[in-house]
Amino acid sequence: MLRFILPLLVVFSFCSKAYSQASVTAQAFAEVISALTATETSQLNFGRFSPEVQGGQVIVTPDGIRSASGSVILSGGVAKSGIFYITGAPDAMFSIQLPTGPAVLTHQNSNKTMVVSNWVSYPQAGTGTGILTNGQQFVYLGATLNVGSLIDNPAGLYSGAFTLTFAYN
């Protein structure tokens, strides 16, 4: 009889409904990182020059090298790339967004203007192009200044503002 009961018990044990439950305690984590900060440490400066008869362009590269085209003659004065000090979480990646359009520099004593365009940076602009090595990074900015003739752009100081955006990825 045991021969018949044992197989029936096996069959019924697989057919019966079993209710069971298990609980587990799990963990979740989050890490708050330092805020990303940007400070201008050196202003973009095209230096001194004379546009002469036709004007042209003054170009400053991210590494501070200046050149001219057209009838523009470079003179003394200090030309510099813009330099920005970025701080935040160590080894975090960040993006660099250059100005979306030109910046206008206005003569201090008149309404005459020059336009800054063709923005370039080192590290290159884009998503995830900068890395905060030990929580810091310098970003270098260059651009092209479009200059009119001496009549369009008389002697004097020109200035203007533009916006760069730095963000964590």
42, 43, 75, 69: which is closest to 145 by C-alpha? 69
Question: Cβ neighbours of residue 90 under 8 Å, at least 6 residues apart?
Answer: 132, 133, 134, 135
DSSP letter for 34, please: P
> Is the per-residue pLDDT at 5 higher than 80?
no
| Banded model confidence at residue 68, pLDDT cuts 50, 70, 90 | very high
Mean pLDDT along residues 139-150: 97
Residue type, 1: M
pLDDT tens across 84-109, in order? 999 999 999 999 999 999 999 999 99
| Alpha carbon distance 131, 89 (integer Å) | 10
| Alpha carbon distance 39, 158 (integer Å) | 22
**The model's pTM:** 0.82
Question: Cβ neighbours of residue 127 under 8 Å, at least 6 residues apart?
Answer: 95, 169
Are residues 56 and 139 in contact, defined by beta-carbon separation less than 8 angstroms?
no
| Alpha carbon distance 110, 60 (integer Å) | 25
Phi, psi of 104 (to 5 degrees): -105, 125
Mean pLDDT along residues 37-59: 96
Class of domain 35-168: mainly beta
- Token pair in block for residue 97: 């967004």
